[in-house]
Structure 1
Amino acid sequence: MGLFSRKDKTPKGDQAINTSQSNVSVNSHSSSLRSPAPGANRNPLNRTSATSTSPGGPMSPVKLPKIDLPRPPDPQLDPAGYLRSLGAVRERSKIVTDKALRNELKHFDVDMGKFPDVRDYDAPFLSIPGHGRYQHFAVGGRDRIAQLLSTWPTNVDNTERCRRLIDLFLVSVLLDAGAGTSWQYKSNENGRVYRRSEGIAVASLEMFKTVDKDGLKNLTVEKLAAGLQSKPGNEMAGIQGRTDLLIRLGEALAAKDDFWGFEGRPGCLIASSMLIVPLPVLWNVLMTGLAPIWPANRTAINGVSLGDAWPCQAMPQPGASPKVSAFPNSSNAAAWESILPFHKLTQWLTYSLMQPMQQLLKMHFAGTELLTGLPEYRNGGLFVDMGVLNLRKDDLERGLQNYNEWVQRTGAKGVEVAPMFEPSDDVIVEWRGVTVGFLDMLCVEVNKALKPELGGNELTLAQLLEAGSWRGGREIAEINRPNTKEPPILIESDGTVF
């Protein structure tokens, strides 16, 4: 039961997942591609992908045969389906990016003269893996995933090893929606203290020994708080939202046994290995199989929740369409054109889940170029801290007022004041939209600047995220705000977006 099928078992491989090397051999004799079920994909095929660079390895493009990729649904006929597609993220964000290049955004002044400063922000691009959850488990230079693999008996084959890592990675990614300023985690194994994404990674590794539908459905706030060491003085932001998300994950695993097997495990999306996987296949499994986990108050069209997609004033604002229902918590209907999709957590999941499948099962993904830069506060914060994006005065004052109210409401210490907004605020939605476009531009500019050093290769967007924009955004935040290390614009997280 699962998405991928192969009759022969994969030979047992090395214990470690080598995320710095991706020129793996293709076991074509032991892999096969299952044809989709009748009617499973009625969309015409019009896109091809002939080259794929594994997010697991630097400078090693893997040549794949041309594979047709499914066209996204026609937004005029199926706007919800279109906005849930991966291709819509880049296509719709381009509208906001084009306005940014003309300095016509609603909430930011744009100084493209500062863009070269972002491009030249130093990073060791020549020896980096792609962006993914794996690297967070290796905090402190210790490969915890390799150590975990070494503890499993030798009769556990690579397919089951991959399933177990997917179980862990999926829960760990869903938990990683911004930890807040004060939270930290003391490892039960070595007594060291970790914070932010790395802290959540280590906590999830120590907390979740197995993952299935029953365990997740029985999760409580108290259990999760204990596992994350969240308590007064060490609060994890959005602990209730994270708990609800994982409980809904358990329900989703139980409801879709065609995706998650009768065991109700995330890893059951793999029955066995395929040689080449069109990325939209994995994307559709994650978007469809995990659709029930997102909060009910998210943007919806005709009753179909869009997940991480939001109305944005910088997008076209046509009149109401009879096909489109009112947004939750709003008395006004809006057309699909005004919605800006991101699907950040699902993209982060995709980047992360590909890593064990590529390395343990030697799978290759066609169409990875469809993935975008992640629209989150580290990548977006880099453009703000470097002066490319400057919050306009009225929004700055409103954000500072929001922050003051948040401090009074929560009792938090206002050490380093910064404007704060909710994830649905138009400032945040616009900021995220332009971040997607700017990351594409940044990747092009960095490749131009490093052309003599790259020796005919190209830096991938996944590598840029890992060693450039995400890491750079964190580093400059630490320089500009050394006490909290927070981004220049704060987001009042509910634990389900960032």
Structure 2
Amino acid sequence: MTRYPEDSAGNERHGNGWLSPVPEGHPAAALLCAEAVRTHCAAVTEHVASGSSELFTWHPDRVHAIADYVASTIRQRYPDLQVPYHSRWRHFESGAGDQRTDRWQVLCERAALSGPEHREERARIGIDLVIPSVLLDAGAGPEWRYRDPASDLVLTRSEGLGAASFDLFARGGFSAAPGDPLRADAERLQRIDADSIAHAFQVAQHNPLVGLEGRAGLLRRLGEVMDATPALFGRPARLGNLYDYLKAHAVGGQLEAGFLLRTLLVGLGPVWPGRIVVEGVSLGDCWRHPAAPGGLVPFHKLTQWLTYSLLEPLEDAGLTVTGLDALTGLPEYRNGGLLYDFELMVPRDPGFAAEPHAVDEPVIVEWRALTVSGLDLVADCVRQALGLEEAQFPLARVLEGGTWAAGRRIAAKRRPGGAPPFAITSDGTVF
């Protein structure tokens, strides 16, 4: 039976509106996993492929051309095919050429945390850093910039958001403990406001950041959920204590990716704004589409992105995460933009890209579902092109090498500034 964690007295926390049990058979339980993402997206894809959709047509003959483009992108970026995981950690390495810096390595060296004897505390600090950073990673908008104080480089989009959130963390912006800046405490997160984010992210009238209030709200809710979930985050609640929970549930030093994702979906589910609620349980990044089972399509994009982003601190501490391809591709504007630009899916409305769209519009839900299915097809062909097996080159590496980079590459060729092929109105909590 899948349940929310208990409090220190052994009682499930469900009366406060944040957490509620999700017993076996509860209609929400089946949607809180990667398998549901894949199967519900497959149903929508079958609907489109059959010609029944009024929104898109489906062109699987384009998969090989996309895979060739992705494979060539991987060979350009990683000639030895040693591709890291697609995760937030890549954005902590941002910069250009000789100025490219691994901020995390520098931070660990300065804090004297680099040795193997510190690996568990290093994992806790890595979790403290990466969870808020992922929550702050929704699309920044085309006008926002971040000037890196260390290098004076001007960074945009995900790299800029990564550097800004990293710098905020390193300054103790998430810590409630004087003299101990490298931590993320519930007490401090609950006090984060839009002004705090605006200052740290260099927001100004000439430098607007999309979804400022939404980002601050996510961090405040994160702090509240942490306080309500001592089984995961301890008392006083700290994000890094999640490492100890995961270590305790590892078998022979191994964790299944599905278990990791389920833990995050159940434990952090109440962080996300309440959109669709089923019998008291918020479904998070889940949307309506008539062709999906039950009329619902879960994506869990940011939670899966977070799952990918926890792999490195957990592995650094000696835990191995298995079954990575149980996770899905991330349906956002780089991966989905790549497939759209290569016309794997083609909108029936010729004016589709002329106006911005809301996240909950059926056409956006359908595009995201097609993206999840399309990424699986492309990944298989990419592995064939590179002569690699799935175990050697899991989806987490295909995405990084990969489809996300290829999406950015084709966007730069087709549109000034590398803008996405169409605009989605964001509140800072989905993309």
TM-score, with normalisation over the residues of structure 1? 0.73
Instruction: Indicate yes or no: 2:290 matched with 1:313.
Output: yes
Instruction: Indicate yes or no: 2:258 matched with 1:280.
Output: yes
In structure 1, C-alpha distance between the alignment counterparts of 2:363 and 2:216, rounded to whole Å: 27
Shift in CA distance, 456/280, structure 1 to aligned 2, threshold 3 Å: closer
Shift in CA distance, 73/464, structure 1 to aligned 2, threshold 3 Å: farther
Q: How many Å apart are 1:127 and its aligned residue?
A: 2.3
Alignment correspondent of 2:327? 371
Contact preservation (8 Å) 1:106, 1:313: no
Instruction: Indicate yes or no: 2:368 matched with 1:432.
Output: yes
Q: What does the per-residue CA deviation read over 1:193-242, in whole Å, with 9 as the maximum and x for residues that have no partner?
A: 10110101100111123321111111111111110111112111011111
* Percent pairwise identity: 38
Q: Which moved more, 1:345-354 or 1:83-92?
A: 83-92
What residue identity is the alignment partner of 1:150?
E
Instruction: Indicate yes or no: 2:55 matched with 1:107.
Output: yes
Q: What does the per-residue CA deviation read over 1:44-96, in whole Å, with 9 as the maximum and x for residues that have no partner?
A: xxxxxxxxxxxxxxxxxxxxxxxxxxxx987xx32211011222111111112
Q: How many Å apart are 1:380 and its aligned residue?
A: 0.6
Contact preservation (8 Å) 2:256, 2:323: yes
Contact preservation (8 Å) 2:145, 2:154: yes
1:30-429 equivalences under 5 Å are 77-121=25-69, 122-124=72-74, 126-140=81-95, 141-153=100-112, 157-208=118-169, 209=172, 210-271=183-244, 273=247, 274=250, 275-296=253-274, 298-316=275-293, 337-358=294-315, 360-393=316-349, 396-397=350-351, 400=354, 403=355, 420-429=356-365
Secondary structure of the residue aligned to 2:57 is: strand
Instruction: Indicate yes or no: 2:427 matched with 1:491.
Output: no
Q: What does the per-residue CA deviation read over 1:141-173, in whole Å, with 9 as the maximum and x for residues that have no partner?
A: 321111111112358721111100111011111
In structure 2, C-alpha distance between the alignment counterparts of 1:440 and 1:134, rounded to whole Å: 23
Q: How many Å apart are 1:437 and its aligned residue?
A: 0.7
Contact preservation (8 Å) 1:169, 1:352: yes
* Greater helix share, structure number: 2
Across the two proteins, how many residue pairs are aligned to each other? 383
Secondary structure of the residue aligned to 1:270 is: helix
Shift in CA distance, 277/190, structure 1 to aligned 2, threshold 3 Å: same
Secondary structure of the residue aligned to 1:135 is: helix
Gaps of 5+ in 2: 1-9, 13-21, 76-80, 173-182
Q: How many Å apart are 1:398 and its aligned residue?
A: 5.9
Gaps of 5+ in 1: 1-37, 41-71, 317-336, 404-419
Secondary structure of the residue aligned to 1:79 is: coil
In structure 2, C-alpha distance between the alignment counterparts of 1:279 and 1:81, rounded to whole Å: 17
What residue identity is the alignment partner of 2:351?
E
What residue identity is the alignment partner of 1:437?
S
Q: How many Å apart are 1:115 and its aligned residue?
A: 2.2
Contact preservation (8 Å) 1:106, 1:314: no
Q: What does the per-residue CA deviation read over 1:126-147, in whole Å, with 9 as the maximum and x for residues that have no partner?
A: 1211211111111123211111
Shift in CA distance, 124/213, structure 1 to aligned 2, threshold 3 Å: same
Contact preservation (8 Å) 1:282, 1:350: yes
In structure 1, C-alpha distance between the alignment counterparts of 2:23 and 2:333, rounded to whole Å: 30
Q: What does the per-residue CA deviation read over 1:368-421, in whole Å, with 9 as the maximum and x for residues that have no partner?
A: 22100111111111111112221122xx53653xx3xxxxxxxxxxxxxxxx21
Alignment correspondent of 1:448? 384
In structure 2, C-alpha distance between the alignment counterparts of 1:259 and 1:457, rounded to whole Å: 30
In structure 1, C-alpha distance between the alignment counterparts of 2:256 and 2:190, rounded to whole Å: 31
In structure 1, C-alpha distance between the alignment counterparts of 2:352 and 2:46, rounded to whole Å: 26
Identify which of 401, 415, 420 aligns with 1:481.
415
Secondary structure of the residue aligned to 2:85 is: coil
Secondary structure of the residue aligned to 1:206 is: helix
Contact preservation (8 Å) 1:167, 1:265: yes
Q: How many Å apart are 1:109 and its aligned residue?
A: 2.0
In structure 2, C-alpha distance between the alignment counterparts of 1:39 and 1:98, rounded to whole Å: 43
Contact preservation (8 Å) 2:345, 2:370: no
Contact preservation (8 Å) 2:383, 2:389: no
Contact preservation (8 Å) 1:314, 1:430: no
TM-score, with normalisation over the residues of structure 2? 0.84
In structure 2, C-alpha distance between the alignment counterparts of 1:129 and 1:232, rounded to whole Å: 37
Q: What does the per-residue CA deviation read over 1:6-36, in whole Å, with 9 as the maximum and x for residues that have no partner?
A: xxxxxxxxxxxxxxxxxxxxxxxxxxxxxxx
Q: How many Å apart are 1:285 and its aligned residue?
A: 2.3
Secondary structure of the residue aligned to 1:271 is: helix
Shift in CA distance, 292/88, structure 1 to aligned 2, threshold 3 Å: same
Q: How many Å apart are 1:494 and its aligned residue?
A: 0.4
What residue identity is the alignment partner of 2:370?
V
Contact preservation (8 Å) 1:97, 1:433: yes
Alignment correspondent of 2:4? none
Contact preservation (8 Å) 1:93, 1:436: yes
C-alpha RMSD of the superposition:
2.2
Shift in CA distance, 477/455, structure 1 to aligned 2, threshold 3 Å: closer
Q: How many Å apart are 1:456 and its aligned residue?
A: 9.6
Contact preservation (8 Å) 1:187, 1:193: yes
Secondary structure of the residue aligned to 1:277 is: strand
